[in-house]
């Protein structure tokens, strides 16, 4: 069975990777969809977000990373996936995910599985990582090394 793990990944964190890797262990094939949420302002452009997720998952043979445009259910159809896998950090996350799961199932019948994030990473979010990095903090414990390097390089050029 093929699953889609969608997200903004701005940037990909160890919390995302925990969910992505567990999805790759559960399903034969995984497609990570790197999308755009119109409600969000992005630090990294779409190509860079895709490239960083690819670099951080290069060891996984049953996983590909693709840009996700338009509706998530249309993306699932296009790549031949019957299941969406999301990570859930908190009760608030689950509340939102249940509504989206019900809507996506009503749209095309696609199912959603919410994997509780490992406790080790439950407090990590891309928003906090971006904020800490922009103010000169060390985010290396929370992100893959390619992301830590990219954030350091950006800080160097952004002043």
Catalytic center residues: 16, 40, 89, 126
Among 3, 6, 21, 88, binds ligand PNS (CB under 6 A): 6
Query: Is residue 103 involved in binding ligand PNS (CB under 6 A)?
Result: yes
**Least separation in angstroms between CB 159 and ligand PNS:** 28
Of the candidate spans 13-21, 42-50, 68-76, 144-152, the one that interacts with ligand PNS by CB under 6 A turns out to be: 68-76
Cα gap 159→157, rounded to integer Å: 5
Among 3, 4, 5, 7, binds ligand PNS (CB under 6 A): 7
Sign of CA dihedral 132, 133, 138, 139: positive
Query: Is residue 102 involved in binding ligand PNS (CB under 6 A)?
Result: no
Cβ-based burial of 20 (10 A; exposed 0-12, middle 13-18, buried ≥19)? buried
How would you classify the pairing of strands 29-35 and 2-7? Answer: parallel
Among 26, 60, 100, 146, binds ligand PNS (CB under 6 A): 100
Among 11, 35, 88, 144, binds ligand PNS (CB under 6 A): 35
DSSP for 28-87 reads SEEEEEEE--TT---SS-HHHHHHHHHHHTTT-TTEEEEEE-S-HHHHHHHHT-SEEEEE
Residue nearest to ligand PNS (CB): 35
Cα gap 142→40, rounded to integer Å: 21
# residues near ligand PNS by CB under 6 A? 12
The most distant pair of C-alpha atoms in the chain lies apart, rounded to whole Å, by: 48
Query: Is residue 32 involved in binding ligand PNS (CB under 6 A)?
Result: no
- Token pair for 76: 């699932």
Which residues in this chain contact ligand PNS in the complex, by CB under 6 A? 6-8, 35-37, 68, 71-72, 100, 103-104
């Amino acid at each position: 069975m093929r699953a889609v793990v969608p997200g903004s990944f701005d940037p990909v964190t160890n919390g995302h990777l925990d969910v992505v890797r567990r999805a790759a262990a559960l399903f034969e094939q995984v497609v990570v969809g790197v999308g755009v949420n119109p409600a969000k302002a992005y630090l990294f452009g779409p190509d860079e977000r895709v490239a960083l997720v690819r670099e951080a998952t290069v060891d996984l043979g049953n996983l590909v990373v693709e840009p996700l445009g338009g509706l998530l259910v249309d993306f699932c159809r296009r790549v031949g996936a019957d299941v969406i896998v999301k990570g859930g950090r908190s009760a608030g996350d689950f509340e939102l995910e249940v509504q989206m799961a019900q809507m996506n199932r009503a749209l095309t019948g696609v199912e959603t599985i919410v994997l509780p994030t490992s406790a080790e990473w439950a407090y990590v979010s891309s928003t906090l990582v971006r904020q800490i990095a922009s103010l000169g903090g060390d985010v290396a414990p929370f992100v893959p090394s390619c992301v830590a390097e990219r954030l350091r390089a950006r800080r160097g050029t952004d002043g």
